[in-house]
Amino acid sequence: MNILTTLLISISLASHAPIHSNKHEFHTSIAEIEYNNQSKAFEVSLRVFIDDFEKALGSLSGKKETLDKSDKHHQLIMKYIRQRFFITNRRGKKKEMTLIGKEFKTDAVWLYIEIPFRESLRKATFTNSILMEHFDDQVNIINLQYKGKKESFLFRKNKLVQGVNIGR
């Protein structure tokens, strides 16, 4: 199954997910990443299911976590994200990132992240293992827009790291 087909299926399933469901039949995250040429940074919109993400944060903190609109979880969220979702440059160095905010939508939370990137994408890689420590069927999708070009990536337990092709 190609990336586009998987993406369309995932989006279709997500749009039909029950409201406020504690359990869903699939585990997926979607990251929309767009390069802002003016600020020389990637602007990331990352969607994860709230219940799954709270489970991951609770495993990291050692206690039950319940997300809300306050900033009290920002440090814990970024600790988790930095371990599981990042871009490395051609020298293998993880790029710094900042959590700009979050937005709750029904049973999902959108995390807004900025990643400064002032160099070539040549030999850069994305790592995305969000929630894979909890769900064997977890699928993570990245849709990247960079200087007018688009590329999509599909991450599973056996494929956590992928090279970027559009910057070459």
Residue 14 near residue 165 (C-beta atoms within 8 A): no
How far apart (Å, rounded) are the C-alpha atoms in residues 38 and 36?
Answer: 5
129-167 pLDDT, tens digit per residue, is 999 999 999 999 999 999 899 999 999 999 999 999 886
Q: Which parts of the chain fold into alpha helices (H)?
A: 3-15, 50-61, 74-84
84-129 pLDDT, tens digit per residue, is 999 999 999 999 999 999 999 989 999 999 999 999 888 999 999 9
- pTM of this prediction? 0.83
Q: Which parts of 16-162 fold into alpha helices (H)?
A: 50-61, 74-84
